[in-house]
Amino acid sequence: MDDFRQKSMAFVAIIWRAHATIAAQQKLTWQHLLNHLADRHGGGRCQSVGGPIKGAYDRALAEGCKTRDLGGELDTRVFTDAVIARL
């Protein structure tokens, strides 16, 4: 895994943990954020990370990993770990 991808995933993990309680409303926020960064600063590497993040989030939900605010039993840390495990 290259350095950019590692740093991107670490950034997303930190931000995700801070905001996971409103994950349902922000499903696409991470992808939008990375797309914005790519548009503003050039290059497609940020955009290339957004799709896998959204995919990991969608797979986690489809497999029943949900926080309490989404009707599940997981706290935000466990949910975040589930998403990261699917990246």
Phi, psi of 74 (to 5 degrees): -80, 145
Along the 87 residues of the chain, how does pLDDT read in single tens digits? 577 777 777 777 766 666 555 554 555 566 777 777 778 777 677 777 777 888 888 899 999 999 888 889 998 888 888 988 998
Residues 6+ apart with CB under 8 A from 65: 72, 74, 78, 79, 82, 83
The sign of the CA dihedral 69, 73, 76, 80 is negative
The whole-number pLDDT of residue 65 equals 94
43: left (phi over 0), alpha (psi -120 to 50) or beta: left
The whole-number pLDDT of residue 59 equals 94
Q: Where are the domains of the chain?
A: 3-19+27-85
Q: Residue 78 and residue 35: Cα distance in Å, rounded?
A: 26
